[in-house]
Chains A and B, each alone.
Chain A
Amino acid sequence: ILNVEQSPQSLHVQEGDSTNFTCSFPSSNFYALHWYRWETAKSPEALFVMTLNGDEKKKGRISATLNTKEGYSYLYIKGSQPEDSATYLCAFPLMEYGNKLVFGAGTILRVKS
């Protein structure tokens, strides 16, 4: 079965720090890589859908890069704020099974003010 690995499992940073975490996925049969943010008691929210090797996407202070050849994606948060505290999930679609997304276990980010 497909493994999507995320590291670290959790991260505690101070307000204003910049941080990054990793999603690793199989590099064969790549179609896309999704990033979601999941705040406590809210719905998971899509951040990015990345499809091209070398792709870099940005949304405010959050950006993501993609390396499909080596099978990893980095999510960066610049100048972390307490409202960035959430679980960040990456997901890999298995297109041979329809639109089946396989999720990583997530990175829990806590930003202290």
Chain B
Amino acid sequence: DTEVTQTPKHLVMGMTNKKSLKCEQHMGHRAMYWYKQKAKKPPELMFVYSYEKLSINESVPSRFSPECPNSSLLNLHLHALQPEDSALYLCASSQNEKLFFGSGTQLSVL
């Protein structure tokens, strides 16, 4: 299994909602990532987990809360988001250097 699976594929939420994005991989990779991508811009790193511990937080607002319950799962909890947070959220995992990406969650905040 060489896939990174993300759910949901699409999400529409209001600014007062709480929702979660989920990411799963069964390749035994010990590093997992959240990236944010706005249209026509490069993906921007948000968080890195290494061996289930948060190793990089790119000064992401606290309305985004990552969680790594085990080595296969990565969640991103969303609360009180703003319309400018609308974007594609990509999860990735890595072994050595190459990243394996999921297909992303397209998030719209109304």
Residues of A within 8 A of B (CB): 4, 32, 34, 36, 41-46, 49, 89, 93, 97-106
- A44 and B88 CA atoms in complex are apart in Å by 12
- A58 and B31 CA atoms in complex are apart in Å by 27
A98–B4 CB distance below 8 A: no
Answer whether residue B66 sits at the interface, using C-beta atoms and an 8 A cutoff. Answer: no
* Chain B contact residue count (CB 8 A cutoff): 22
B4–A43 CB distance below 8 A: yes
B88-110 near A? 1/0 per residue, CB < 8 Å: 00100010011111111000000
Task: Report how many A-B pairs have Cβ atoms within 8 Å.
Answer: 54
Answer whether residue B45 sits at the interface, using C-beta atoms and an 8 A cutoff. Answer: yes
* A62 nearest CB across to chain B (Å): 16
New A-B pairs, 20, CB < 8 Å, besides A34-B98, A106-B42? A34-B97, A34-B99, A42-B103, A43-B100, A43-B101, A43-B103, A44-B43, A44-B101, A46-B98, A46-B100, A49-B97, A49-B98, A93-B97, A97-B56, A98-B48, A98-B50, A101-B99, A102-B45, A105-B41, A105-B42
- A36 and B102 CA atoms in complex are apart in Å by 13
> Which A-chain residue is minimally distant from B31 (CB atoms)?
A99
Answer whether residue B55 sits at the interface, using C-beta atoms and an 8 A cutoff. Answer: yes
A43–B102 CB distance below 8 A: yes
14 interchain pairs (CB within 8 A)?
A34-B98, A41-B103, A43-B104, A44-B43, A44-B99, A44-B101, A46-B99, A89-B43, A98-B48, A100-B45, A100-B48, A100-B56, A101-B45, A103-B44
In the assembled complex, which residues on chain B have CB atoms less than 8 Å from the CB atom of A36?
99, 101
> Which B-chain residue is minimally distant from A97 (CB atoms)?
B56
